[in-house]
Amino acid sequence: MSLPRYDPHSRKGSRTPVTVSELKRQQHTVTGVPGSRAIALFISLLCGGTSVLAFAPFAFWPVLLPCVGTLFVLVFYAGSARYSFTIGYVFGLGLFGAGVYWVYYSLHLFGAAIAPLAAVGTLLCVMVLSLYPALFAVIAWRFRVRGSGLVHRSSWFLVAAPALWLLVEWFRSWFLTGFPWLSIGYSTINTPLAGYAPIGGVFLNSLLMAFCGGALALIYVQRSIASACIALLGIVVVAGGGQMLRSVSWTQPAGDPVQVTMVQGNISQELKFQPRLLEDSLRIYSDLSLTGADLIIWPESAIPTLFTDVEAWQTEFVEEMAARGSTVLSGGFHANEDYTEYYNAIKVLGGTDDQLYTKRHLVPFGEFIPLRDIIKLLAQVITIPMSDLTPGTGPIMPINIDGVNYGMSICYEDAFGNEMIAQMPQTNVLVNISNDAWFGDSTAPHQHQEIAAMRSLEFDRPMLRVTNTGITSLISRHGQVLEQGEQFEAMAMDVEVVPRHGSTPYVLVGNWLVVSVGFFLVFVYFVCFLRAE
């Protein structure tokens, strides 16, 4: 008995006779990996989990290339749309399971959720995020072409797959308020690809990183001198171009250096919002601020109540600091006139209304409960302080202090470069205040600092990053950490920062440049290959 031969590169297959035993053998190798599908899924899971090593605190970025390349190979050889979806989903379980496990800390240790519920919540978070790699995989599989020649395969591995990866990452960055954490472009801070960030931002770097991974995959799949030459030439051109761009100065110094003290109070999350300890918290921050620097910066919620609740203390403290020649910028909470809306804010203590910034991009379940009326039970079980806040409104402008414009972001906001552009190009120095105590002694604070460094690189401006328990740091305009404090220690870090002015290409076009490139590449691939079928 004979059956039509199954061609994994064809939707229809050919009519060449083949025995049943040979068909079974081909089906077992349809993934491109000898053995069963279970082995292929295990490899996908392993690649996803291993990919986390490319990000901080490990920063072993080369590991990402074979991991992404292997995913491309597994998707390319998947025998069906359903199986390609599974391959991508399992990759996502590895990536986000190893990458955002720290959600458990927030829910259980600091959100008062019992351990089983916190574990379920973390698992659900990982499962939802894993849908994005699965979405990439099923679309990329659909975009395969029947031809098996070098041109056809090169176009898929070097054009279609990287472009689709970029577009899915970008989609993840804004859909349902967005979660751009672990976008692969963040791993490029210390690579030649860093030179591209001021042009197209983190997503351009993601595209190029996916391209390099696809190039390695092409070498494996095609296994010819021609494919190796094409792939290696592409990698060399991309890396060489990025290295040359790293020497370009997109902005210029703007004024004299500013002396800054960044205060890390190290107030534990369990005690931070207890009213009886408010005076102790203020005393800790006050004592660490007697440095005489031009600017003193306190972290997010350093004042763990409304600014108006501490007006008497604030007046006295501001006078003392003014006598020392210092201005204090602190995180805290702000309310509207009738106290019906509350905001996570940063303010110049004793300053005017235009020296107040209210957080725009809130953290779901951390600062607000989505669909609170529908999920009342969850809102009751997870009791996070100040978790019913209002997004900031009005024009987004930097805060001017002594002639220097400081572009503000609070915690999670620095993960959204396209939103921070609203304060450009007026901003001279970036300021991010955060409270990464929510994540305990996990990889999250390190990943968060890496994300902040990408913003400095995109905007070609230094960043003053001040956190409650760490990691407080001074980040250069090139995205390099110049000075860094120890985690879980109370300290005052004295640094000097040079304001800058000017615009990078990314400031002018945001994410739209690279997203347009992604759609264009997909369109060209469709017209040249898929439509021809």
Euclidean distance between CA atoms 101 and 94, whole angstroms: 11
Is the distance from CB of 438 to CB of 366 less than 8 angstroms? Answer: yes
212 is catalytic: no
Instruction: Name the active-site residue from 272, 411, 413, 450.
Output: 411
The one catalytic residue in 67, 125, 212, 359 is: 359
Tokens 């976008």 found at: 183
Residue 387 in tokens: 């978790």
The single residue of 169, 300, 367, 450 carrying the catalytic annotation is 300
Max intra-chain CA distance, the chain: 96
Strand-pairing partners, residue 364, are 368
Q: Is 468 exposed, middle or buried (0-12, 13-18, 19+ CB in 10 A)?
A: buried
Give per-residue burial for 424-446: e unless 16+ CB within 10 Å, then b: bbebbbbbbbbbbbbbbebbbbb
Q: Which two tokens stand for residue 160?
A: 């279609």
* Strand 491-497, strand 500-501: pairing: unpaired
d(CA 436, CA 106): 10
- Residue 377, judged by CB atoms within 10 A of its CB (0-12, 13-18, 19+), counts as exposed
CB atoms within 10 A of CB 379: 18
Give the distance from CA 144 to its chain's centroid: 29
Distance between alpha carbon 378 and the CA centroid of its chain, in Å? 26
- Distance, in Å, from the CA atom of 384 to the CA atom of 382, rounded to the nearest integer, reads 6
359 annotated active-site: yes
Closest C-alpha among 492, 519, 505 to residue 289: 492
Q: Distance between CA atoms of 353 and 347, rounded to whole angstroms?
A: 9
Q: Which two tokens stand for residue 351?
A: 């300053």
300 is catalytic: yes
Residues classed as catalytic: 300, 359, 411
